[in-house]
A and B are shown apart, each in its own frame.
Chain A
Amino acid sequence: MRAKSRWFTKPSGRNGSAVTNMPEGLWVKCPRCAEIHFAKDIERNLRICTKCDYHYRLHAYERIDLTVDEGSFVKINDDVMSVDPLGFPGYPEKLARAISSTGLTDAVVCGEALIDGRRCVISAADFDFLGGSMGSAVGERLVRAMELSVELRIPFVLFTANGGGARMFEGLYSLMQMAKTSAGLAKMERAAVPYIVVLTDPTMAGVYASYASLGDIILAEPGALIGFAGRRVGNQDMGMKLPDDFQSSEFQFRCGMVDQIVHRRELRSTLATLLMLLAEEGSDVKTSA
């Protein structure tokens, strides 16, 4: 499975992923506290600012590497590719650029993996692929992942990072992916297979208003941007004063939309605990994939 993916990426991470590309260079400046760091230090710290705890955005494969048991990830659905159904100006070029710059085939990566020995289906979005936006290929990949979850009766763990929401270059098709992914989750709901969402920076609009909000359990990384419509829209609203942390993880937590805010360092163990707690009675625990 992995060997086939060479067309796009050179497997070199722990799970056959592309190597990280950010922070670039020797030094990085924290976007929040402006502290200059030695890139290697940030890298070693799970890409978290050593001074202010800012969580840098992770690429899909970095996320997967950080979460799953070493070598356990088996990629699925990677051959489902976006097309340009509307003939939208500039979309084919944008797609081609996203594919070559990220080494991904679309904005989400899905697969089967083990987290602390427990089987799950996992998906992670990559913001660098057209803002992590949801087009037809993303919708199809996610629904296949959900259907696999139901078929195998193993939980689905999903990391968002879809700041782009629905991919407008695909028009009505992209809007309908909200319904399509929610249909898949209705199926999971009926089958009583757990669906765990981890909201990461950024998660907005059509994605937040569909599968990102439908987790049986919803976790969030600290300080992520999470919301429905861009801040500007809110600001224009009759001079309503917005709280400083508007549309942050902490804001959403306060509003009751998130079960827990979990530090990146704790995320893997929290997920492992949840998978343990949600495991079906008599199910085969700690199997290998």
Chain B
Amino acid sequence: MLKPLLDFEKPIAELDTLIEELKRSAANDERRKAAEHDNVDIESEISRVEERRDKVMREVFANLTPWNRVQMARHPMRPYTLDYINAICTNFVELHGDRIGADDPAIVGGFCQLNGQTIMAIGHQKGRDLKERQHRNFGSARPSGFRKALRLMQLAARFRKPIVTFIDTPAAEANLMAEEEGISRAIAYNIQQMFHLEVPIVVAVIGEGGSGGALGIAVGDRVIMMEHSIYSVIPPESCAAILSEFGRDRGRASDAAAALKLTAQHALQFHIADSIVSEPLGGAHRDPIAAARVLGNAIAAELKELASVPTPVLLDARYKRYRSIGSWEEIEREALIVPVPADHVEGPMP
């Protein structure tokens, strides 16, 4: 199968291919003998090319643009929620249905164990191949998905099991049916009710943090972001298409991505994320097991810290955490009184 590649991954992939060929040669007696005959040491050749590849990779990944981060967050090979749950947790029992009339495959959840402790794991789920992608609605949750998530979260809270959510969605579903079933209310109600849940909540943004669709399961006591994940109020393509600053041109999504400051590194700077989990060089998809191990450790560490916090303190801190988000200034009115310009006197817009 041909692996899907991003443009900036191509030079790395070429070296990968070369390494694979060398390894095949090393495994092939005839070719190895031929190489020995030519005084070529395949093993050292392999490590030489590997070194070169790692160097290229370090260079490429040290210089990722915000748009490259968006591409990484959406990478079709990237590990998804169930990949992480299966790698990090044991005894996962998936629970389905919103108990109102539907089960949304775009959000998965269930009880499982992390380091022997029972948790409720919930996340957006994208599909790997075309069929599964459609089945999962590309990770875009419907109202029933948010209602299922809330049901599971409240279930967890009742049995005093901490909640871990995995965020990876382009946006919530926005079609006619979603509107009819109250997508806005479903998201809003989840966000509000998450402030009442009397157990620790750890949020892990593993890929795309797509606006309200992400936030609908992303109110937490700790927010962890993977190194190449994003969190944005609007997809950069839509932002570029709306604003004249970008010529109302979807093609200028990379400019919009830069302006929106949507990377994990920015979220950390804005104190909206608490920490960033480093990914293996080249991104989580190059070594999903290693990526999962690091993420699992980070989640477990946060849960351990939160476990000792008394519930009222926990809820109060959660409130204050979101209460304080924002960037605004309070004008000292007295200091600002200036003569009212003539066109202001008659009120708005002459």
A binds B: yes
Chain A residues packing against B (C-beta within 8 Å) = 4-10, 12, 18-21, 24, 59, 79-83, 85-86, 88-90, 100-105, 128, 135-137, 139-140, 143, 166, 168, 170-180, 182-187, 189-190, 205-206, 208-214, 227-229, 233-234, 237-238, 240, 242-243, 246-247, 251, 255-257
Q: Is B325 an interface residue (CB 8 A)?
A: yes
Q: Is the CB of B178 within 8 A of A228?
A: yes
Q: Is the CB of A171 within 8 A of B260?
A: yes
Complex interface: chain B residues within 8 A of A86 (CB): 259-261
A183, B21: Cα distance in complex, Å: 57
- New A-B contacts (6) at CB < 8 Å, excluding given A8-B344, A10-B345: A19-B346, A137-B326, A171-B266, A176-B215, A190-B196, A234-B176
Q: How many residues of B contact A (CB 8 A)?
A: 68
Contacts A173-B326, A234-B179, A242-B176 given; indicate if A100 touches B344 (C-beta within 8 A).
Answer: yes
Most buried by A among B189, B261, B326, B345: B326
Complex partner residue of A171 from B216, B262, B338, CB under 8 angstroms: B262
A90 to B: closest C-beta gap in Å: 5
Q: Mark B234-246, 1 if CB is under 8 A from A, else 0.
A: 1000010011110
Sample (5) of A-B pairs whose CB atoms are under 8 Å apart: A172-B233, A173-B325, A186-B319, A205-B212, A210-B191
Complex partner residue of B262 from A172, A179, A227, A243, CB under 8 angstroms: A172
A185, B135: Cα distance in complex, Å: 35
Q: Is the CB of B184 within 8 A of A189?
A: no
Q: Is B130 an interface residue (CB 8 A)?
A: no
Q: Is B231 an interface residue (CB 8 A)?
A: yes
Q: Is the CB of A180 within 8 A of B266?
A: no
Residue of B nearest to A106 (CB): B328
Q: Is the CB of A79 within 8 A of B330?
A: yes
Complex partner residue of B243 from A7, A19, A90, A172, CB under 8 angstroms: A90
Q: Is the CB of A234 within 8 A of B337?
A: no
Residue of B nearest to A136 (CB): B326
Residue of A nearest to B326 (CB): A136
Q: Is the CB of B333 within 8 A of A206?
A: no
Q: Is the CB of A179 within 8 A of B322?
A: yes
Q: Is the CB of A7 within 8 A of B338?
A: yes
Q: Is the CB of A172 within 8 A of B267?
A: yes
B76 to A: closest C-beta gap in Å: 22
Count of CB-CB pairs between chains A and B under 8 Å = 232
Complex interface: chain A residues within 8 A of B245 (CB): 89-90
Chain B residues packing against A (C-beta within 8 Å) = 171-172, 174-185, 187-189, 191-193, 195-196, 211-212, 215-216, 219, 231-234, 239, 242-245, 259-262, 266-267, 270, 272, 318-319, 322-323, 325-334, 336-338, 340, 344-349
A87 to B: closest C-beta gap in Å: 8
Residue of A nearest to B178 (CB): A228
Complex partner residue of A257 from B175, B185, B192, CB under 8 angstroms: B185
Complex partner residue of B174 from A105, A136, A176, A228, CB under 8 angstroms: A228
Residue of A nearest to B211 (CB): A175
Contacts A12-B347, A240-B176 given; indicate if A179 touches B331 (C-beta within 8 A).
Answer: no
B266 to A: closest C-beta gap in Å: 7
A47, B2: Cα distance in complex, Å: 63
Complex interface: chain A residues within 8 A of B340 (CB): 6-7, 10
A136 to B: closest C-beta gap in Å: 3
A59, B232: Cα distance in complex, Å: 30
Contacts A171-B232, A246-B179 given; indicate if A214 touches B192 (C-beta within 8 A).
Answer: yes
A128, B179: Cα distance in complex, Å: 26
A240, B349: Cα distance in complex, Å: 41
Contacts A178-B212, A234-B174, A246-B176 given; indicate if A210 touches B326 (C-beta within 8 A).
Answer: no
Q: Is the CB of A128 within 8 A of B331?
A: no
Contacts A89-B259, A209-B212, A228-B179 given; indicate if A173 touches B327 (C-beta within 8 A).
Answer: yes
Complex partner residue of B348 from A80, A103, A182, A243, CB under 8 angstroms: A103
A277, B189: Cα distance in complex, Å: 25
Complex interface: chain A residues within 8 A of B323 (CB): 143, 180, 183-184
A24, B349: Cα distance in complex, Å: 10
Q: Is the CB of B180 within 8 A of A255?
A: yes
B98 to A: closest C-beta gap in Å: 15
Q: Is the CB of B322 within 8 A of A180?
A: yes
Complex interface: chain A residues within 8 A of B319 (CB): 183, 186-187
B135 to A: closest C-beta gap in Å: 15
Complex interface: chain B residues within 8 A of A256 (CB): 182
Complex partner residue of B183 from A20, A82, A136, A209, CB under 8 angstroms: A209
